[in-house]
């Protein structure tokens, strides 16, 4: 079966206005030019740690929903890379900002972190494998796009922010997103218009949450009551 190669391009096109807003967000621009206040970035790192815990749980659902051994292996790799490799790097990175493991574990989710992770876990629970991929792809693909865009533009003058750019512009990270896109294209080859519409809805919702995550970190969002 040939891949439906244009479907993920179609998803990217539908969400283009959101992804363009991501790259222009003052949080992302602050990483690029080194002007982002450290306290805002520390807030982001703690919330991202909490996010990644549930993001790993979504990949575990992918292993369960997988229909063949290679797909199970792919999601097992994504789970391992996120839960162990990425989160180990994350913890080490947080130490450089003076954030202890105990501080991260004791933190509470900000409203947007809570809402975004509940959205992803809901998709993982009730959705198809393709819908699950559509839910996680804006994060996996979006970070790779931001990382490569900032790297190509010259990176950041702030060494610790440059480390963040290097992580998400790495060939290893880019390959994970490419694998998910390839699988989604294959899975949706025979999908109906209605089925593809649901995929687009999940993809757009997660794309919107990606933007809100930057906004949450920049404003250091807290519960109002």
- What SS3 string covers 167-182? HHCCHHHHHHHHHHHH
Question: Which of 144, 168, 143, 49 has the alpha carbon at shortest distance from 97?
Answer: 49
* Measured distance between the N- and C-terminal CA atoms of the chain, rounded to whole angstroms: 53
The domain limits of the chain are: 7-218
79-112 confidence digits (pLDDT tens): 998 888 878 878 888 888 899 888 988 999 999 9
| Residues annotated as part of the active site | 139, 210
158-217 confidence digits (pLDDT tens): 999 999 999 999 998 999 899 999 999 999 999 999 999 999 999 999 999 999 999 999
The angle, 0 to 180 degrees and rounded to 10, between the axes of the packed helices 193-219 and 38-65 is 150
Element (H, E) at 28: helix 26-33
Per this entry, what is the length of the chain? Answer: 225
Return the pLDDT at 5: 54
| CATH 1.20.910.10 applies to domain 7-218 | yes
Q: Helix, strand, or coil here: 202? A: helix
């Amino acid at each position: 079966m040939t891949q439906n190669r244009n479907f993920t391009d179609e998803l990217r096109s539908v969400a283009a206005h959101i992804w363009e807003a991501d790259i222009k967000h003052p949080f992302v621009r602050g990483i690029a030019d080194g002007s982002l206040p450290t306290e805002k970035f520390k807030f982001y790192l703690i919330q991202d740690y909490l996010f990644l815990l549930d993001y790993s749980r979504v990949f575990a659902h992918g292993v369960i929903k997988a229909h063949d051994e290679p797909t199970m292996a792919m999601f097992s790799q994504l789970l391992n890379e996120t839960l162990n490799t990425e989160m180990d790097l994350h913890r080490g990175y947080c130490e450089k900002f003076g954030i202890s493991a105990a501080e991260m574990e004791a933190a509470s989710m900000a409203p947007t972190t809570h809402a975004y992770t509940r959205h992803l876990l809901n998709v993982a629970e009730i959705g198809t494998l393709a819908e699950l991929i559509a839910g996680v792809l804006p994060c996996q693909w979006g970070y790779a796009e931001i990382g490569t865009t900032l790297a190509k533009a010259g990176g950041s003058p702030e060494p610790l922010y440059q480390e963040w750019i290097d992580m998400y512009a790495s060939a290893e990270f880019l390959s994970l997103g490419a694998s998910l896109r390839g699988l989604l294209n294959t899975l949706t080859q025979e999908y109906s218009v209605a089925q593809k519409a649901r995929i687009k809805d999940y993809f757009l919702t997660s794309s919107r949450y990606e933007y809100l995550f930057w906004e949450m970190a920049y404003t250091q969002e807290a519960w109002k009551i």
